[in-house]
Structure 1
């Protein structure tokens, strides 16, 4: 009888946890919906003030202003559901000191994700081609550089800041109670998923793993710094430096930079593999939560809906 009661109690506790995790996931879903609607409405209002021609549409696509509005609206959702205690935890400093060497190693690991993402992108394109579709437009959207000042500010500063607050702040810290491994993986998964881009989402997931580990170990500000480095230094700044170099040579140089950094990142991971394995073994309690959350109704519904939206971005050959 006691054994039965213990099992029943454990089942009830698990259900309670699943409901709490589900509510957290629903908050992120609401954030995503509000963000998309706000960006669309802002874009439509901007179009209404201009003549609806091809040039104004092209200019709107390059503007970061609709995303400023979207971020403001989305952040209101996060602020509304975040308790003062959670806000303090989001910005809590850690006792682990960040050094230049560690920072560069983390950058290299991020760059290794870009190598994997490039290989994946080629494989994805070949796969969807079999069905008469192309992911080229999504590839271009994922790799495009900023062509306006407002988009530069969004992609290099405001975007990373808001994403760190939402995914490595609110989401990561909300999930931390169920294990660091669970928190890092699930926050990275949602971060990648909400990019809603079949090409970009896998890289965003890998990036989210690095940023999640960084936020828990060194603090949110260092995750933000890495995010800015990835978006700005390895993106628009690198393109700016190579602006006077012929296109073919510029692509070769940037490719070599990413290849060198990526290989260095893989070496770092290989060299630290025993430490990584040891850390993962200490986080075994997260295994059950991961399985139940990933295949739970909340995550399945969100994943299916966003995946369909991402597939709508494919183009007919």
Structure 2
């Protein structure tokens, strides 16, 4: 593992105002992305709703349900948001490191893949604890998400989850967002992008998973390339999520839970083996690429940072429903 080539003196000489300005700008990019995607969704939904009312149509049109329509509209919003990200990418001229990326080989690819897969078990454990605490007060983090089970394998949801999300989210978080802030330390860039990646998902189950997976994706993007991050994101969504869920869908609920647990447990121990094997390298990586003093503060306590956190938490809370 290598240390990023950053001019430490240049970072040190930056005033607090200059540091805060860069971090606030990155937060605003995320805010605008969400507002654009949401605005497109709401605008088209209102237009379609008005058309259906005027033409005396029902929401059900052939095989298209209201929920599927909402998913299609969400995809439309995401695509417009991604278009905005492309514009930002081509106007943003930050490139704070000039080292050559590592070459991905089969061994490294499989090691990282097992670590990423093993994080699903940690996600499951964390979500189990959160769900237990919510159940204690008569709430559930899943009750308002159950409706998506009926369209889980629909074309729009699979298109969004398998194709658009890996491409668009990696472009946004592991390229446009992470690129300017890497000068404040690789560790900071990885963790900050993971937190923001988590918040933008808007519901607790996906947000917890996104945080842990985002750590791996951030590392891959910085050390290898954003292209490899897209590939890992695709594998996570297409194979570890959709394909695996489809393969075990024929079994009863209890059997599915057992199969899923032992599959995640297997990946966890394999991934843990590699983490322990390279524990010294990981410690050195964290030490050599530590966060530049004060960077974390400006990212999360600025108005734009607090707004992002508030938007994410509010969305999560609203999707916690009564059992």
TM-score (norm 1): 0.85
Change (3 A) 1:142 1:279: farther
Q: State the Cα deviation string for residues 228-273 of structure 1 (Å, max 9, x = none).
A: 0000011222233345555544443333222211221122222211
Of the three residues 103, 106, 118, the one matched with 1:100 is: 106
Partner of 2:84: 77
RMSD: 3.0
Residue 186 (structure 2) pairs with residue 184 (structure 1) = no
Q: Which has the higher contact order (CA 8 A, sep 6+)?
A: 2
Residue 218 (structure 2) pairs with residue 216 (structure 1) = no
Structure-1 separation of matches of 2:151 and 2:282: 34
Please tell me whether the aligned partners of residues 191 and 205 of structure 1 are also in contact (alpha carbons under 8 angstroms): yes
Please tell me whether the aligned partners of residues 59 and 66 of structure 2 are also in contact (alpha carbons under 8 angstroms): no
How many Å apart are 1:130 and its aligned residue?
A: 3.2
Moved more, 257-266 or 125-134: 125-134
How many Å apart are 1:44 and its aligned residue?
A: 4.6
Partner of 1:174: 180
Secondary structure of the 2:21 match is: helix
Partner of 1:30: 32
Of the three residues 310, 314, 319, the one matched with 1:313 is: 319
Structure-1 separation of matches of 2:160 and 2:28: 25
Structure-2 separation of matches of 1:142 and 1:263: 31
Partner of 1:128: 134
Moved more, 101-110 or 281-290: 281-290
Moved more, 56-65 or 33-42: 56-65
Please tell me whether the aligned partners of residues 47 and 56 of structure 1 are also in contact (alpha carbons under 8 angstroms): no
TM-score (norm 2): 0.83
Secondary structure of the 2:204 match is: coil
Partner of 2:207: 201
Change (3 A) 1:122 1:240: closer
Partner of 2:66: 60
Secondary structure of the 2:132 match is: helix
Q: State the Cα deviation string for residues 114-133 of structure 1 (Å, max 9, x = none).
A: 11111111111122233332
Q: Structure 2: 5+ residue runs without aligned partners?
A: 1-11
Structure-2 separation of matches of 1:120 and 1:240: 24
Structure showing the higher helix proportion among its residues: 1
Please tell me whether the aligned partners of residues 112 and 265 of structure 1 are also in contact (alpha carbons under 8 angstroms): yes
Of the three residues 302, 305, 315, the one matched with 1:299 is: 305
Please tell me whether the aligned partners of residues 59 and 65 of structure 2 are also in contact (alpha carbons under 8 angstroms): no
